[in-house]
Amino acid sequence: MSSHHFVKEQQEPALLILNTIGFGYESIAPLLEWSPTVLVAQEEVHTVISWGIKIDLIIADMDFQKENYSLLEEQYPVKFLGVSDENFLDEGLQYLIATKHGSVNVIGFNHQQVFGLEAMLSFLDLVVWDAPMRYFPVKNGAFKKWFAGASLQLHAPEGTFVEVQENEENQIYAITYATFIEVGEGFVTFKSNKVFWIGDFVMDY
């Protein structure tokens, strides 16, 4: 992107778009406010262009690059980032780490696979968007946030224990598949001795 007038380069969360199923421009638009670096997997390039979003990097294999070479001129100054075995996520995250980005919103990644991302959490702050929810990791044992009342998913390997403190009341949850909890308005504290993820709804259906 060309305009970084408000924040330092690489300070704002990058945007890595892997899949647009369940997403429209309206759900992505708020993430574009500070002109982030935008990376897009090859299958979603034409959808993202149709939304009017300026792409910085297209993650693509050699065949796609050859067939779509004209994009380099049409979408200048977009660049190709080579990929093999369709490993778009890994290639995108490695690029962001190498270019000193500190955080990224990953659009269209299956939240069931987030446990495989934990090695990256030392290098990047990751938020995973899997419509209609987004998931963020708690990696330092505890996390406190104000909620206006919400339905949340606690997501961790089965058998992980997460303590939830709300209004001076504590409850411990043993995580199973799709553990949802309801929290009221106010600050909620989450604690665990393992990395876990909190999912909240960002879209209404």
Task: Tell me the per-residue pLDDT of 93-147, one tens digit each, with 9 for 90 and over.
Answer: 999 999 999 999 999 999 999 999 999 999 999 999 999 999 999 998 999 999 9
pLDDT band at 205 (very low <50, low <70, confident <90, very high): very low
Taking the model in full, what pTM does it have? Answer: 0.91
Rounded to whole angstroms, how far apart are CA atoms 137 and 95? Answer: 21
- Whether residue 196 contacts residue 148, with contact meaning beta carbons closer than 8 Å, is answered with no
Which H or E element spans position 22?
none
Q: Domains of the chain: which residue ranges?
A: 14-131, 139-201
SS3 41: strand
Mean pLDDT over 3-25 rounds to 78
- Whether residue 28 contacts residue 107, with contact meaning beta carbons closer than 8 Å, is answered with yes
CATH of 14-131, one of 2.60.40.10, 3.50.50.60, 3.40.50.10240, 3.30.428.10: 3.40.50.10240
Q: Which residue has the tokens 């209609």?
A: 132
Angstrom CA distances, 147 to 45, 108, 144, stand at: 35, 24, 10
- Percent of the chain predicted with pLDDT > 90: 85
Task: Tell how strand 79-82 and strand 57-60 pair up.
Answer: parallel
